[in-house]
């Protein structure tokens, strides 16, 4: 077996030589996660904002369910999407199983509760502080939720980055619904799992380093956002202190 | 003259059961057009709750509130909420929410900011303005709506003395500009009450204990004999 230092050296070589195989996997991973995050945010930001302001019977139960979904393991999401998309499943007619679309769907479902729950919390806090004043100007619940979400956009950008971090670093769901097909549905996390099991440590390590770099960049972006908001308002920020992890 | 507000045995309760908090109890009050009513009393006596009730942000738990719906209302809060955008957009937002097209709202917002001496700050981020300037933007936002009734919840209490004088002068200007405008404001500043109000309502534990014209209220003999609690509150404040 290749030693760790040899593997690390080869991994760095793969990265700096922009190895086509490694770059293709990285690009596919990014594209899947960007698409999934975009879909989840389009739905989750609006849903979370409305949940943050609206009061209705059964809201507590809905929030409890939403918070439960936060803890659902990615393999369970993968399994559900697999069952939905399998030939005998309700969405089998789409023919999406083991495709890029299936991976996007699985990741979107995985991060949708994250976006919704965090948005709900941010907007609910803002509603508690400022909702009454917007109400006094004539903003009804739906409009108020959207205005508050817009006003909390820096905090919600943090939510977006957190969602992307969760999407790109998950392995279970895309493995099940994508099938880890070389050149087709192989993404960074599934490739790392496969190459490690095969003993091809340089590629696995190279992908791992790229993944770490991405999370590092996301955390740097979060810090920049926080600093920008502090500068803009001249006060300590109330941005949620999220740190992303692989 | 028909009242702008008529409260009949109105009460506001928060919570239920043993934890019920009676913010306002059996409150009966009438306010007619053009009055300048000051609500005074210790912290937690129900001033802000009463203003919220009058503005329609709260509904009475019991009793009746009649409001003249034909008169436009606006409310300014102790700490104004200005969104993360320019001062002008903040003023325009209030107009837009009342149905004005955005372009028209922006033009009217410019006029409103000009009238409160904030024209040169119109395009500055609202949250970068000082406390006094933010309160002036909030007043411009309220004034732009051309309300016939203006409710102010301790509009100067979080400001430094200079800003306090500026904002108070502005409120006086607004009140003088339209003598038919009804002004209801909560304040801890009795000097301000003397300068702005025509009538004083003293609240204690959610009840009206004294309701007098301003000169009568501050004539200590009359107050001491008829409303000893209000008198001791005023006396305490003036010590």
In a domain, A201, yes or no: yes
Q: Is B203 helix (H, G, I), strand (E, B) or coil?
A: strand
Tell me the two tokens of residue B105: 């709202």
* Residue B2 confidence (pLDDT): 77
Chain B closest CA to A179's CA: distance in Å?
Answer: 46
Chain B residue numbers with beta carbons less than 8 Å from the beta carbon of A155 are none
Q: B210 in helix, strand or coil?
A: strand
Q: What is the pLDDT of residue B173?
A: 86
* H-helix segments, chain A: 4-16, 20-53, 59-70, 74-85, 100-126, 132-137, 141-151, 153-169, 172-178, 188-198, 201-233
Reduce the DSSP state of residue A179 to 3 states and report it.
coil
**Which pLDDT belongs to residue B237?**
57
pLDDT per position as a tens digit, A134-165: 999 999 999 999 999 999 998 898 899 889 99
What are the helix (H) ranges across B98-239? 102-115, 131-144, 161-177, 190-196, 214-218, 220-226, 228-238
Q: Is residue A83 domain-resident? A: yes
ipTM: 0.87
Query: Which B residues, 117 through 146, put their C-beta within 8 Å of a C-beta on chain A?
Result: 125, 127-128, 141
| Cβ pair A135:B83 closer than 8 A | no
Q: What is the pLDDT of residue A246?
A: 46
Q: What percent of chain A has pLDDT over 70?
A: 93
* Alpha-carbon span A246 to A189, nearest angstrom: 10
At A57, is the pLDDT very low, low, confident or very high (cuts 50, 70, 90)?
very high
Q: What is the mean pLDDT of chain A?
A: 90
The reported pLDDT for the residue numbered A2 is 53
What are the distances in angstroms from CA A30 to CA A102, A107, A166, A167? Answer: 15, 12, 12, 9
Q: Quote the minimal CA–CA distance from A143 to chain B in Å.
A: 9
The CA-based angle A75-A76-A81, given to 5 degrees, is: 95
pLDDT in tens, B30-68: 999 999 999 999 999 999 999 999 999 999 999 999 998
Q: Inspect the interface and report whether the beta carbons of A132 and B57 lie closer than 8 Å.
A: yes
CB neighbour burial string for A181-217, b if at least 16 within 10 angstroms, e if fewer? eeeebbbbbbbbbbbeeeebbbbbbbbbebbeebbee
Residues within 8 A of B (CB atoms), A 134-173 only: 134-139, 143, 147, 150-151, 153
- Look at residue A246 and tell me if it is in a domain: no
Q: Is residue A238 part of a domain?
A: no
- Residue A27: inside a domain, yes or no? yes
Kindly indicate the confidence band of residue B16, based on its pLDDT and cuts at 50, 70 and 90: confident
Does A26 map to a domain? yes
Q: Stretch A168-196: mean pLDDT, rounded?
A: 93
* A chain contacts of residue B94, beta-carbon cutoff 8 Å: 137-138
Residues B204-221 pLDDT 10s: 999 999 999 999 998 867
Look at A232 and B57 and tell me if their CB atoms are within 8 Å.
no
Q: Quick one: pLDDT band at residue A223, thresholds 50, 70, 90?
A: confident
Range in A100-114, A218-232, B103-117, B182-196 with the lowest mean pLDDT:
A218-232
Instruction: Please state, for a pLDDT cut of 70, what percent of chain B lies above it.
Output: 98
Q: Around Cβ A4, how many Cβ atoms within 10 Å?
A: 10
Question: What is d(CA A218, CA A226) in angstroms, rounded to the nearest whole number?
Answer: 12
Q: Which residues in chain B touch residue A147, judged by CB atoms under 8 angstroms apart?
A: 83, 93
A190 falls within a domain: yes
According to the model, what pLDDT value does residue B145 have? 93
Residue A75 CB coordination number (10 Å): 15
Rounded to a whole number of angstroms, the distance from the CA of A234 to the nearest CA of chain B is: 8
Query: Taking the mean position of all CA atoms in its chain, how far away is CA A110?
Result: 8
Q: Is the model's pLDDT at A234 over the cut of 60? A: no
B154 to B33, B77, B188: CA distances (angstroms): 21, 7, 7
Between A53 and B238, whose confidence is greater? A53
Specify the CATH number for the domain of residue A200: 1.10.3720.10
> How many domains does chain A divide into?
1
- Choose from B72, B84, B135 for mutation: most chain A CBs within 10 A: B84
Domain that holds residue A200: 4-233
In a domain, A176, yes or no: yes
Q: Give the model confidence (pLDDT) of B62-113 as tens digits.
A: 999 999 888 899 999 999 999 999 999 999 999 999 999 999 999 999 999 9
Cα–Cα dist B98/A230, whole Å? 32
């Amino acid at each position: 077996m290749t030693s760790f230092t040899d593997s690390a050296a080869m991994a760095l070589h793969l990265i700096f030589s922009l190895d086509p195989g490694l770059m293709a996997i990285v690009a596919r991973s990014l594209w899947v996660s960007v698409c999934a995050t975009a879909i989840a945010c389009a739905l989750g930001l609006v849903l979370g904002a409305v949940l943050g302001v609206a009061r209705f019977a059964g809201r507590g139960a809905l929030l409890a369910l939403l918070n439960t979904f936060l803890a659902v393991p990615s393999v369970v999401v993968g399994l559900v999407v697999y069952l939905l998309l399998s030939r005998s499943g309700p969405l089998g007619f789409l023919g999406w199983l083991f495709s890029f679309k299936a991976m996007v769907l699985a990741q979107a479902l995985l991060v949708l509760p994250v976006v919704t729950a965090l948005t709900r919390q941010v907007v609910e806090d803002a509603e508690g502080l400022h909702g009454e004043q917007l109400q006094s100007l004539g903003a009804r619940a739906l409009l108020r939720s959207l205005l508050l979400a817009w006003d909390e956009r820096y905090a919600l950008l943090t939510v977006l980055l957190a969602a992307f971090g969760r999407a790109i670093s998950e392995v279970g769901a895309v493995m099940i619904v994508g099938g880890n097909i070389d050149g087709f549905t192989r993404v960074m996390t599934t490739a790392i799992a496969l190459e490690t099991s095969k003993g091809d440590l340089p590629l696995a390590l190279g992908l791992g380093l790229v993944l770490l770099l991405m999370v590092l960049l996301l955390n740097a972006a979060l810090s920049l956002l926080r600093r920008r908001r502090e500068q803009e308002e001249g006060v300590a920020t109330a941005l949620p202190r999220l740190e992303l992890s692989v | 003259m028909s009242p702008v507000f008529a409260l009949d045995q109105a009460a506001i309760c928060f919570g239920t059961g043993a934890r019920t908090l009676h913010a306002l109890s059996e409150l009966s009050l009438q306010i007619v057009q053009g009055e300048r009513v000051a609500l005074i009393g210790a912290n937690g006596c129900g001033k802000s709750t009463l203003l919220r009730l009058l503005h329609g942000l709260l509904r009475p738990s019991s009793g009746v509130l009649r409001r003249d719906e034909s008169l436009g209302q606006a409310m300014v809060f102790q700490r104004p909420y200005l969104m993360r955008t320019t001062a002008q957009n903040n003023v325009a937002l209030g107009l837009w929410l009342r149905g004005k097209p955005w372009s028209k709202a922006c033009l009217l917002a410019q006029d409103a900011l000009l009238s409160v001496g904030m024209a040169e700050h119109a395009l500055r981020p609202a949250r970068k303005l000082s406390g006094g300037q933010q309160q002036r933007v909030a007043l411009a936002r309220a004034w732009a709506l051309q309300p016939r009734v203006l409710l102010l919840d301790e509009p100067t209490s979080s400001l430094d003395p200079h800003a306090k004088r500026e904002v108070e002068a502005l409120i006086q200007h607004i009140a003088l500009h339209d003598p038919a405008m009804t002004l209801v404001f909560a304040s801890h500043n009795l000097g301000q009450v003397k300068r702005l109000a025509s009538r004083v309502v003293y609240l204690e534990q959610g009840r009206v204990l004294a309701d007098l014209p301003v000169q009568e209220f501050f004539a200590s003999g009359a107050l001491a004999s008829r409303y000893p609690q209000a008198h001791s509150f005023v006396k305490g404040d003036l010590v």
